[in-house]
Amino acid sequence: MFQDKLLPFINRYNEITELLSSPDISNDIKRMTELSREQSNLNDIVQKAKRYIAVSESISENKELLSDPELGELAKEELPLLEDEIATLEEEIKVLMIPKDKNDDKDIFIELRAGTGGDESALFVADMFKMYLRYAEQQKWKVEIISSSEGSAGGYKELIFQIKGSGVYSKLKYEAGTHRVQRVPDTETQGRIHTSAITVAVIPEVDDVEVDIKPNEIRMDVYRSSGCGGQCVNTTDSAVRLTHIPTGIVVAIQDEKSQHKNRDKAMKILKARVYEQAMQSQLDETANTRKLQVGSGDRSEKIRTYNYPQNRITDHRIGLTIYALDDVMENGNLKLIIDPLIAHAQAEAISAAGL
């Protein structure tokens, strides 16, 4: 019975309420943070579960009243409305019952890197950044460039930016992977279509509670910035390179004039990358979890093709093809792709959970 599947969520919500009032928990900041976050994630499903149970009871009561000479007609009128509501609630609850990705509410770093295709690849990095920027504006998210390395003919060889807002990771996590573009470059005189590729990494931002990096695990090098920049940027040792010794992860930032600011930015990215590596290791070890992903999230996996001559975008993971590339790239209408990806992931998760 579907109603029986709801009780564990309600019971867990009530259990957390009791735990949060315990003196032992109030003195443990990490545990209190974890429990508060879990309870917040349970809130929607618990509210809908309580409504589902109430509607279910009303349906039973109305069915008993059908034979009543005075209330039978009223019960007959109400039943279809209640049955429609409970059907809607059941579908909504099934989506909410899917194990929630603990990173879904986190802000993110997106790293765009030019791959095969040389200058054309770097130009596509710039085009992709504009697309994400316009999509972020529609969602009322904030975007900040963290680090950039310009291409020789324009665009970027590498671009790292942060997006902050509600549910950022939940909507953009499926962007990770290799994005391939097919188009005629401006420098092509014979009209031949070139194929280039860039890689996209989507990394959730983490706090100190989630990632504990000890000072003796980090080596910091400072050096003079290179490339574009003002006199202060290029003539002082303001650039910072952090190396996480246990994992070998390296982050270099040189965009700010201040060494202190560059170090702060580099540290945020370093923590996020260390967390991402640990998260990927968990996915590799847990086959069932991986099945619930749309693709593996691997940066080397080719996930999407952007074909400019045909105005076509194809997402290879779910076999989605739309002929609205101009709308996506120029207007940031990325929901045309993101919404089907989320729906596909939810359908797979519901099926896998046997709901």
Q: Say which residue, 188 or 300, is predicted with more confidence.
A: 188
- The pair of three-digit structure tokens given for residue 150, joined into one six-digit string: 């310009």
Calculate mean pLDDT across residues 231-258.
78
Structure confidence at residue 354 as a pLDDT band (50, 70, 90): confident
pLDDT beyond 90 at 186: no
- The confidence score (pLDDT) of residue 59 equals 94
- The confidence score (pLDDT) of residue 296 equals 43
Beta pairing partners, 284: none
- The confidence score (pLDDT) of residue 24 equals 83
Distance CA 338, CA 342 (A): 6
Q: Say which residue, 285 or 254, is predicted with more confidence.
A: 254
Q: Say which residue, 189 or 326, is predicted with more confidence.
A: 326
0.85 exceeded by pTM = no
CATH number 3.30.70.1660 is the correct assignment for the domain at 108-205+300-353: yes
Summarised one tens digit per residue, pLDDT across range 116-171 is 888 899 999 999 999 999 999 999 999 999 988 888 888 999 999 999 999 999 99
Nearest CA-CA partner of 315 in 325, 323, 305: 305
Sequence-separated (6 or more) residues with CB below 8 Å from residue 13: 39, 42, 43, 46
Residues 156 and 122 sit within 8 Å (Cβ to Cβ):
yes
- The confidence score (pLDDT) of residue 285 equals 54
- The confidence score (pLDDT) of residue 282 equals 63
- The pair of three-digit structure tokens given for residue 222, joined into one six-digit string: 């400072």
pLDDT beyond 80 at 294: no
Query: Hey, where are the domains in the chain?
Result: 2-97, 108-205+300-353, 215-283
CATH entry, 215-283, from 3.30.450.40, 3.10.20.30, 3.30.160.20, 3.40.718.10 = 3.30.160.20
Share of the chain above pLDDT 70, in %: 90
Calculate mean pLDDT across residues 282-290.
51
Average pLDDT score, the chain: 86
pLDDT beyond 90 at 275: no
Calculate mean pLDDT across residues 282-301.
50
Summarised one tens digit per residue, pLDDT across range 27-54 is 888 888 889 988 988 899 999 999 999 9
Summarised one tens digit per residue, pLDDT across range 211-221 is 778 888 889 88
pLDDT beyond 70 at 234: no
- The confidence score (pLDDT) of residue 60 equals 93
- The confidence score (pLDDT) of residue 180 equals 95
Which position has the token pair 């917040």? 40
Structure confidence at residue 261 as a pLDDT band (50, 70, 90): confident
Structure confidence at residue 283 as a pLDDT band (50, 70, 90): low
